[in-house]
Structure 1
């Protein structure tokens, strides 16, 4: 047996007091096994890899007392150890494992027998459906594991074959945490000696894989979410998590008048009071002389649930899509100067948070915002028009804010169209920031109220602080002892 550890090579995994994810693999880890270790480490989980090359290795891993371990192995490794070391594997699972994850289940011929054996017949095998649209659901009954995601569904938009599990009619109870095309794809079994999780399908994503505006994190939900659920459940507060759940609705462009297009401020204020949510208006600094002092006082009047932030400078095309640092700093500075004049004239404070017009900005614009003294940027598009700071990667979107661009925090917001995306942000400990324009209110405030109600259903503790308050406090934390 060979033990390797990214944090502490040579130490026995089972003797360490801190709970770790132990990956059992062959002599050399496969790319998918390496990816699952990287993802676990990125989420704050200490990891070990155990190379099993003979039957005695399993026996040695199963020896000793103390804390029970969290073990992960691919379905290929499970099938191999079942064939050559079934007695030692059974002893390990029954006596030393608190949780066991078997991932990459997808070959009916190779995996079915081992799965049936390790689950005591609760799972009879694997079924691979023909290629087609892949629709994934997270049943409400799995809320104890999937948290804010329970009761929601999504489609990755890919036409792929989708392995799922065949459950024995009279087998032990198996709780489906994720269902694909009506069949269980991610299962939890509470066996007498171990809590077992089985994941069908291959392709654990690499956290260093580049993303693009046309291929965002949403395309990886089906492969990311099950692993994240397993890590959050198995490692609790020692896994990175957010301390609070917050949200904010942001409306781009409107003047601060009684009505702006389809937006009626009076109706919005009544809706906010009734449904208990908060809104920020992304105000164009060029309009700083167009606000009536009386109207500003009447509409805003020191209300924490309605505030304004900065939306560009002139709101001209590509005004922050430039490589000219001096020009960008002048735009960022002028925007703040105008907002300060607006505050001095109307008495209406503003939040030093930038929402870029048309979602277009260069990497260097983040440096300009930092130099000018902005708190953060928020945008529906998080991809700069250049790659001066390198491409954004999967791991960047698993943090509350993207900081790859000159170290300045960029928070992602969503259009309020798919509840799944906002719930995923809350699951990760990110603020659920929503963005729209006045056209969204063509039929009044009903659509935003329905979305707010949906968010409250997935996260009953949700609060709606000002942008400055929640972005300043936005963080992830983990227990270290």
Structure 2
């Protein structure tokens, strides 16, 4: 066995032979007299096929610089930070009888980046002007609780104004939480008797079906069944239509007699829509959090019908991303042939055949310690098929819980890993991957997948300093970190709650038989990527084709899912929304590298924002290879860019201290 001190010296010697490829910084770890336990001990590794040593020309990466592409993109110009974005949606409420929906409607609007106006119909008479924004256009969506929509608040003239806005103005009216006890007279007048009753179905088994009638509304949930093994009595109500074509069922269920009934429907009326929601009552988001309401499958109809309607009616004005992404990551395996049939090794050639046939991509979370053991044949596969294979960093030494607590006591299961030691592991692992790239020609992405478990939050700051893109992990927070109290926590592609560094969640598949096909559905509807992970001995214990049915299911969802490397997904991890002046807001969710394409035929201004607590110095912000002006205010880094049609914008933020070897 080789001690850490000896191995570090070997890496340093190799770097010197490469002409100073990597500047080794930091003190050597104290001690070094204990033997390390490796997942793949050197005695069990096959002898690697010799690989040519890198030339000086491709051995110039630095530990501290964010990687950039060659300066082949056009120079872009700064734009004005001024923009016009006026109120988007309208809530009609009754202050004398407040409802959870009153809170939830405006909270969902805020989540989608919209501005919500509130009008108390118990205090004012509804007029046409109140249904319009300050530009004179009708609000695209108007929300009303069924408890508010009653004769005491709306007379026939006011209901006629609402109906005219729908018919002639293309407005959507969302009527929330209709029950068997609702006063239906105003609803019937608004819908011109499209609905005749709301009843309680005899249904002892809670389940739902999202129809295929309007996939542009139901999106990734289209044609999905939400079912449970255990009996749970249905808490929804059933809408009864005047005629079979009075409204379009979007969410249905089946009663004890096997008869379908409608829970959520859209009624077309002229140029607009009336959405009728008879789903189960929802708590206020301020009490239950949006995450709880959205991800609870047993409460499927509490909040999702409202999200369906708002996203559809507001279109590109909501936070969204036009592309859906997916990735499979396998932790640990070296780049070697599986000659022994061991479940610790990957059969890369057979996996490639599965990926080509079933259209998916596999990222290997690679243990840097084994940078010298990669075999030439497997290296050639990775270089020949970068659309199917990629690498990210998986810790460093595979010597236990490498990024555990900084201090421990007798109750801890694993030894302490002080912050200085974790930084040394990060640097050493990064150095080894740089050497591996130089030696093999296989690129890697600066993404950390922690082995065994996630680190404490201060380690995130170290990763930010060394210009990593993100942490990708199954955990929802760093080790021992307090939970977030934000009402919209975990609803976005990444969280910056900890050290101002993105934590992107992935979903483990320890056993394909336990895979939940709704997992990608819930994530893709939020425009979050589907990131799945496992180990060779878990996912492929039943055969190399074990993942293929899962890939087929994901590829069969509504919309087009693109499988990319983990790095390419994180570099495209953003949401965008269009403002009323035609400019586009972009919310960046990677730490330091973003690629955005203006797919339109028009020149547009992009207002880019990224959460930035300034805990690590910013050396420079580069757009398409050139330094670019930016501002820092209210916890955000912002830059404003004018982007011609069909043009790519690549933003790189350089963190950390300056190095003498920077060019």
Q: TM bucket by the smaller chain? A: 0.7 to 0.9
In the other structure, the counterpart of 2:426 is 332
Alpha-carbon distance in 1 for matches of 2:465, 2:250: 46
In the other structure, the counterpart of 2:528 is 430
Distance 1:275 1:84, change over 3 A: closer
Report the 3-state secondary structure (helix = DSSP H, G, I; strand = E; otherwise coil) of the residue aligned with 2:207. strand
Alpha-carbon distance in 2 for matches of 1:320, 1:381: 14
Give how far 1:197 is off. 0.6
Distance 1:44 1:364, change over 3 A: same
TM-score (normalised: structure 2): 0.63
Specify every segment of 5 or more residues in structure 1 that has no aligned partner in the other structure, as ranges. 1-15
Q: Is the 8 A contact 2:470 2:503 kept in 1?
A: yes
> Residue 484 of structure 2: which of 361, 383, 391 is its match?
391
Alpha-carbon distance in 1 for matches of 2:252, 2:113: 27
Alpha-carbon distance in 2 for matches of 1:299, 1:208: 52
- The superposition leaves residues 156-197 of structure 1 with CA deviations (integer Å, 9 ceiling, x where unpaired) of 889464222232352643212222455322211112364011
Distance 1:343 1:66, change over 3 A: closer
Alpha-carbon distance in 2 for matches of 1:287, 1:127: 65
| Residue 397 (structure 2) pairs with residue 299 (structure 1) | no
- The superposition leaves residues 66-103 of structure 1 with CA deviations (integer Å, 9 ceiling, x where unpaired) of 42332101110013xx3453313322221224110011
Give how far 1:138 is off. 1.3
TM-score (normalised: structure 1): 0.85
Structure 1 consecutive aligned stretches of length 4 or more whose deviation exceeds 6 Å: none
> Residue 552 of structure 2: which of 429, 438, 453 is its match?
453
> Residue 278 of structure 1: which of 327, 351, 361 is its match?
361
1:31-110 to 2 correspondences below 5 Å: 31-54=100-123, 56-57=125-126, 61=130, 66-69=136-139, 70-79=141-150, 82-97=151-166, 98-106=171-179, 108-110=180-182
Alpha-carbon distance in 1 for matches of 2:487, 2:540: 33
> Residue 310 of structure 1: which of 370, 379, 393 is its match?
393
| Residue 210 (structure 2) pairs with residue 138 (structure 1) | yes
Alpha-carbon distance in 2 for matches of 1:88, 1:406: 55
- The superposition leaves residues 119-140 of structure 1 with CA deviations (integer Å, 9 ceiling, x where unpaired) of 3333233233578553232112
Give how far 1:218 is off. 4.4
1:234-383 to 2 correspondences below 5 Å: 234-259=313-338, 260-261=342-343, 263-292=346-375, 294-304=376-386, 305-323=388-406, 324-383=418-477
Distance 1:224 1:84, change over 3 A: closer
Q: Is the 8 A contact 2:289 2:488 kept in 1?
A: no
> How many equivalent residue pairs?
460
Distance 1:126 1:453, change over 3 A: same
| Residue 549 (structure 2) pairs with residue 480 (structure 1) | no
Alpha-carbon distance in 1 for matches of 2:223, 2:479: 36
> Residue 421 of structure 1: which of 506, 519, 539 is its match?
519
Deviating more after overlay: 242-251 vs 25-34: 25-34
Q: Is the 8 A contact 2:210 2:224 kept in 1?
A: yes
Alpha-carbon distance in 1 for matches of 2:202, 2:404: 45
Specify every segment of 5 or more residues in structure 2 that has no aligned partner in the other structure, as ranges. 1-83, 255-259, 407-417, 510-514, 581-663
- CA RMSD in angstroms comes to 3.2
Q: Is the 8 A contact 2:337 2:378 kept in 1?
A: no
Q: Is the 8 A contact 1:123 1:171 kept in 2?
A: no
| Residue 271 (structure 2) pairs with residue 177 (structure 1) | no
Q: More helix by proportion, 1 or 2?
A: 1
Alpha-carbon distance in 2 for matches of 1:133, 1:87: 40
